[in-house]
Structure 1
Amino acid sequence: MLLSHAFGLFTHPDDEWASIRKEHHTPRRLYVAYVFILAAIGPICAYISTAHFGWTIGNDRLIKLTEISALQMSVLTYLAMLVGVFALGYAVNWMAKTYGAREEHVPSYGIALASYSCTPLFLAGFALLYPVPWFNAIVFLIAACYGAWLMYDGLPIVMGIDKDRAVFYGGALLTVALVILVSTRVGSVILWNFGVGPVFVSG
């Protein structure tokens, strides 16, 4: 089962990457059986916490989002995550030949690397059930660092390249990931200007 990889990447990542390389699942199957499920963790937890638990900043009163606003934000976040994983996977395949990857014509490798490397970020979504900004920031920072390391660790195994090349390959992919992140932030601002923004209420 594809979801078993989520735990293996934390306990024995090298063996798990080798197993992933042998599977050759289609991008569609990876999305349906893995990304669609794990990417929903964060948005669902964010909806529950922002609409029902609320949060405080300093000694201010409790702040929540309206249920409709929280639902809109969660759905948009979910869609952005799906697009981001696909864009990162596409970048892996697009750069593959440049860095000497073998069998770069197999599109599942790029999506697999992107999907499984994002696993820590997917699972970090559980932290949103405790809506404290500094706590969430620390958890997601740790998850992002481990996800970046997973990408670097998996590149030579899945794409069949030397570890020296994986450093530059991983650096290029990290740049792409940052561009995707900035794009989602810009997209959020644009959507907020069209009225699809957060609506706050006092707890």
Structure 2
Amino acid sequence: MLLHHVFGLFTHPDSEWAEIRREHEKPLRLYVAYVLALAAIGPICAYISTAHFGWTVGADRLIKLSPVSALQLSVLTYLAILVGVFALGYAVNWMAKTYGAQEEPDASNGVALAAYSCTPLFLAGFALLYPVPWFNALVFLAAAIYGAYLMYDGLPIVMDIPKERAIMYAGALLTVALVILVTTRVGSVILWSYGFGPEFVGD
């Protein structure tokens, strides 16, 4: 089971990346056994907290989302995460030749690198059970920083390139990740205009 890599990526990432390269899992199996499960953490926790716990604004006024609205947004977020990880994985593979790595027809190494590098962000989804904006922002910032480190650390191992090339490669991939993030935000605004926006409920 691929979920055993979660602990290793936090305790001994170098040897874990080497094992991931040896496994060379196909993208479909990686998605089914790893990404589908971990990517659901954030949306599920966000649904629970926004529909049932709520958060306070101003003078202790409790704000919630309606269950239908929270479910819609959680499902859309889940789909965006799945597409984002897949797109980042293919970007890793597409840029491979530029940085001296081997481009693969099925992008196995690229998707693996993207999926496992996103592990801290997947796990940060648990923080959404405590719907306090500043706390969530700090947790996700720390997760993003460690995820970027994991990508930089894993690039030379998984893609089999010299370590000195990993800095430029990782920088290019982080730029792609930011483009994907901005695209999903723009997509959210468009979907909101078609009736998928949040429906707030105050207590």
TM bucket, shorter chain: over 0.9
User: How far does the alpha carbon of each residue in 1:35-90 deviate from its partner, in whole angstroms, 9 at most, with x for none?
Assistant: 00000000000000000000013424000000000000000000000000000000
| Equivalent runs, 1:161-200 vs 2, <5 Å | 161-200=161-200
Match of 2:137 in 1: 137
- Report the residue type matching 2:67 in the other structure: E
Paired with 2:122 and 2:116, the residues of 1 have a C-alpha distance of 10
C-alpha spacing 1:131/1:65, structure 2 compared with 1 (3 Å): same
Paired with 1:150 and 1:101, the residues of 2 have a C-alpha distance of 18
- Report the residue type matching 2:138 in the other structure: I
Paired with 2:57 and 2:166, the residues of 1 have a C-alpha distance of 42
C-alpha spacing 1:156/1:5, structure 2 compared with 1 (3 Å): same
- Report the residue type matching 2:47 in the other structure: Y
| Equivalent runs, 1:75-86 vs 2, <5 Å | 75-86=75-86
Contact 1:104–1:159 (CA<8 Å) still a contact in 2?
A: no
| Equivalent runs, 1:9-158 vs 2, <5 Å | 9-102=9-102, 104-105=104-105, 107-158=107-158
User: How far does the alpha carbon of each residue in 1:74-120 deviate from its partner, in whole angstroms, 9 at most, with x for none?
Assistant: 00000000000000000000000110013645611000000000000
Contact 1:39–1:78 (CA<8 Å) still a contact in 2?
A: yes
Contact 2:27–2:106 (CA<8 Å) still a contact in 1?
A: no
Paired with 1:109 and 1:199, the residues of 2 have a C-alpha distance of 41
TM-score by length of 2: 0.98
Over 6 Å off, 4+ runs:
none
User: How far does the alpha carbon of each residue in 1:113-145 deviate from its partner, in whole angstroms, 9 at most, with x for none?
Assistant: 000000000000000000000000000000000
**For this pair of structures, how many residues does the alignment match?**
203
SS for the counterpart of 1:3 is helix
User: How far does the alpha carbon of each residue in 1:131-168 deviate from its partner, in whole angstroms, 9 at most, with x for none?
Assistant: 00000000000000000000000000000001111000
- Report the residue type matching 2:69 in the other structure: S
Identity %: 80
Contact 1:121–1:140 (CA<8 Å) still a contact in 2?
A: yes
Paired with 1:81 and 1:8, the residues of 2 have a C-alpha distance of 23
- Report the residue type matching 2:193 in the other structure: N
SS for the counterpart of 2:131 is coil
Contact 1:156–1:166 (CA<8 Å) still a contact in 2?
A: yes
Contact 2:26–2:106 (CA<8 Å) still a contact in 1?
A: no
Measure how far apart 1:24 and its partner are: 1.3
Paired with 1:70 and 1:182, the residues of 2 have a C-alpha distance of 21
TM-score by length of 1: 0.98
Contact 2:128–2:136 (CA<8 Å) still a contact in 1?
A: yes
Paired with 1:145 and 1:119, the residues of 2 have a C-alpha distance of 12
Contact 1:97–1:104 (CA<8 Å) still a contact in 2?
A: no
SS for the counterpart of 2:2 is coil
RMSD (Å) for aligned C-alpha atoms: 1.0
Paired with 1:16 and 1:38, the residues of 2 have a C-alpha distance of 18
C-alpha spacing 1:106/1:164, structure 2 compared with 1 (3 Å): farther
> Which deviates the most, 29-38 or 105-114?
105-114
